[in-house]
């Protein structure tokens, strides 16, 4: 069960990290954009912050995947 959870967290972290890197404005539109009716855009600082969080999500996902591989390998 631990192995499944590690790979599950790795997949979720990878998916959110890639989404944040590829579409950084998506989270802004989901949280704030609907309130402005298209009259404003996210700032460059916000977009850079979301991209950085996406990078960190990929790093965390890699850590969980590596832990899952090590746990799988040690249980053999």
pLDDT digits (tens, 9 = 90+) for 49-66: 999 999 999 999 999 999
What is the per-residue pLDDT for 12?
97
The structure tokens listed for 50 are 């979301």
pLDDT, mean of residues 13-31? 92
Q: How far apart are CA 7 and CA 53, in angstroms?
A: 20
Angle between helices 2-22 and 44-74 (to 10 degrees): 160
Q: Are 51 and 26 in contact (CB under 8 A)?
A: no
């Amino acid at each position: 069960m631990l192995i499944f959870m590690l790979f599950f967290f790795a997949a979720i972290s990878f998916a959110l990290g890639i989404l944040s890197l590829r579409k950084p404005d998506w989270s802004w539109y989901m949280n704030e954009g609907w309130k402005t009716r298209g009259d404003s855009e996210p700032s460059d600082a916000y977009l850079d912050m979301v991209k950085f969080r996406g990078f960190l999500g990929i790093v965390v996902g890699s850590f969980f995947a590596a832990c899952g591989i090590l746990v799988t390998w040690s249980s053999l």
